[in-house]
Structures are given as structure tokens and as C-alpha cells.
């Protein structure tokens, strides 16, 4: 099971990003654990300068704006 973190203050884009992660994982038949990180200190420590950010198994793969669906699927498969 992949561990996914979505970094952001809880804004609409961050919620949408978390939903996109869940939907992409479901479409791929993957089990994922999605954790939303809203603490500004944790967001900064993860290296996210612009939200929403996404990490997959501890590796930051995206920051700023909604992710591209095909890229998201690639990160989940990888």
C-alpha cells in the first residue's frame, strides 16, 4: 500500500487534490493511504513552497496547483 500525503491548508484545491489521488488510485486498482497535512511547519519541512503538494512514499512529487491526471497516475504506479 502506498502512503500519500497531500500538503495544504485545507483549501478547495487541496481537497480536490486529495479526491483526485483517491479517484486515480481506485481507477488503477491500487490501495493507498491518503493523509492530509495542514500544519504550516510540516508543509514547510516537506519542502512544499506552493500548495497543494503531494508526496508518494515520502518523496515529494508535486507542488502548486492541481496535478495533471496522467502524471498523478504515473506517480501512483511508480
Alpha carbon 7 to its chain centroid, in Å, reads 7
Task: Verify whether residue 13 is a known catalytic residue.
Answer: no
Choosing from 10, 11, 23, 40, the catalytic residue is 11
pLDDT given for residue 20 in this prediction: 97
Question: 13-72, pLDDT tens digit by residue?
Answer: 999 999 999 999 999 999 999 999 999 999 999 999 999 999 999 999 999 999 999 999
Distance (Å, whole) CA 5 – CA 38: 10
Question: Domain boundaries in the chain?
Answer: 2-77
CATH class of 2-77: alpha beta
Active-site position among 5, 6, 8, 14: 14
Residue 67 to residue 16: CA distance in whole angstroms: 10
Has 14 been annotated as catalytic? yes
The model's pTM: 0.94
Amino acid at each position: 500500500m502506498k502512503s500519500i500525503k497531500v500538503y495544504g491548508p485545507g483549501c478547495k484545491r487541496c481537497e480536490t487534490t486529495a479526491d483526485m489521488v483517491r479517484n486515480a488510485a481506485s481507477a488503477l486498482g491500487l490501495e493507498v493511504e491518503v493523509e492530509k497535512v495542514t500544519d504550516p511547519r510540516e508543509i514547510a519541512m516537506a519542502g512544499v513552497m506552493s500548495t497543494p503538494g503531494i508526496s508518494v512514499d515520502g518523496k515529494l512529487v508535486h507542488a502548486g496547483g492541481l496535478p495533471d491526471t496522467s502524471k498523478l497516475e504515473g506517480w501512483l504506479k511508480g
